[in-house]
Amino acid sequence: MGGGPGRRGRLRGAMRVPREQLRALGLVAPLLIFIGVTFIAALATMLMRSVHDPVVADALPETVALLRGWDGERLPAEAVYETAARELSRAGEERTIGQVAGRVNRVQGGLRSVFTRTARDLEDEAPDPAAATGTPWRDALIALDTAWADPATWHAIRTTGERFTSRNYLNAVDMDRLPDGTIARQPEERRIYLRLFWRTLLVSGAITILCLLLGYPIAHLIARAPPRRAALLLVLVLVPFWTSLLVRTTSWIVLLQTQGVINDILVAIGLVSDDGRLAMIYSMTGTLIAMTHVLLPFMVLPLYSVMRGIPPQHMSAAASLGATPLQAFLRVYWPQSLPGVGAGALLVFILSIGFYITPALVGGSDGQLISNMIAYHMQTSLNWGLAGALGGILLVGVLALYMVYDRLVGVERMGLH
């Protein structure tokens, strides 16, 4: 090494920083790529699907274009029927008719079979345009199915033919766009999502409160216990984490069901008669009990870590200053534990808003939450657009909650230092 620690040495030191940053970036790159592909891209795709649906527009492009000029009240012109027949028949050959029928069916029930059958019939025996006069295509289609004489069918094609649509979001909040373009609430019997969102919020709130009530004393106990016992208690809190969620949930079924352990015990000790066995599962009660159990550690851990930072001397000091135990708790301990309460409550609330497996297994019909509906649309009805819209609303709600927390606790924290 020549020159000593002169200017050049310092410069070289300054140059080293970006290289180290580059190396650090290289080390986290796999994670970034992984998150990018599995999380961000997947999320973006789902959100995209909720507003973008090109299936009908791709399969019936000319029909959709022609329908833009339609007045929406009388039956469309002959040219529209002719184009529709041609494109339906092509969709039948290209095997895309199933998807098109599914989309249209969501807007107007019963159209699925109309579309698939029409496409099949058109393939089998295409009407001969030259042989007829007047409106041969219209007559031919109506002959195949009377639904083609109903403007609602054409409405359905026009609506689903829009590549970008707000339909999914409207449906997700129990609304729909009427043929004349106005937005109105769904008929009473079709309003399900808002009620489900509301129920999800209520259940999540209830679970959060239950977790707080149960978790606060435990967290306090662990935070005050001598190190060895604290470690043991912490392990007991964490054991559920090491057990499969499925196992934990199904063991609740074993415990809670009508012929289950708890009912058997109650009957055996005579608290409950044999025909009066309690229905504790496959209902909201089951969802509440099982989810509170599953989510309790998420409340205990943040509480514990905050409580451990509260010196035990503070309670002694409050007592020596003349405070009753209740005063000492309310004025000295509780305010200092608030950041933990906030973090734990936020965590439990957000997790329970999106919880799926437990309500699906023990919730019965009235214990289902919005995530179960999302799963239904993903797996059963295959209406991914609506699933994406429901998920999108959920995501926005959670982000809003997080911002509220950041505001509240952020301010609180700043005040502490």
> Does 331 participate in binding other proteins (rule CB under 8 A)?
yes
Quote the DSSP letter at residue 274: G
Least separation in angstroms between residue 349's CB and other proteins is 24
- Binding residues among 22-41 for other proteins as defined by CB under 8 A: none
Least separation in angstroms between residue 315's CB and other proteins is 9
Least separation in angstroms between residue 317's CB and other proteins is 4
CA separation, residue 118 to residues 125, 140, 143, 306 (Å): 11, 10, 10, 67
Least separation in angstroms between residue 246's CB and other proteins is 42
Q: Pick the stretch among 24-32, 91-99, 136-144, 308-316 that binds other proteins (CB under 8 A).
A: 308-316
Nearer to other proteins, 113 or 324 (CB): 324
Residues in the chain: 417
**Long-range contacts (CB closer than 8 Å, 24 or more residues apart) made by 19-23:** none
Strands 183-185 and 175-177, sheet pairing: antiparallel
Nearer to other proteins, 329 or 356 (CB): 329
Question: What is the C-alpha to C-alpha distance for residues 385 and 49, in angstroms, rounded to an integer?
Answer: 5
Residue indicated by tokens 């509440």: 288
Residue of 322, 379, 380, 411 interacting with other proteins (CB under 8 A): 322
HSE-CB at 149 with a 13 A cutoff on CA atoms is 8
Quote the DSSP letter at residue 161: T
By CB under 8 A, the count of residues binding other proteins is: 20
> Does 323 participate in binding other proteins (rule CB under 8 A)?
yes
Residue indicated by tokens 């930072």: 309
**Binding flags for other proteins, 255-294, as an x/- string (CB under 8 A):** ----------------------------------------
- Binding residues among 332-361 for other proteins as defined by CB under 8 A: 332, 335-336
> Does 316 participate in binding other proteins (rule CB under 8 A)?
yes
Residue indicated by tokens 């009235």: 366
Residue of 36, 129, 276, 311 interacting with other proteins (CB under 8 A): 311
Helix axes 284-308, 193-224, angle to 10 degrees: 40
CB 92 within 8 A of CB 119: yes
Binding site for other proteins (CB under 8 A): 311, 313-314, 316-324, 327, 331-332, 335-336, 415-417
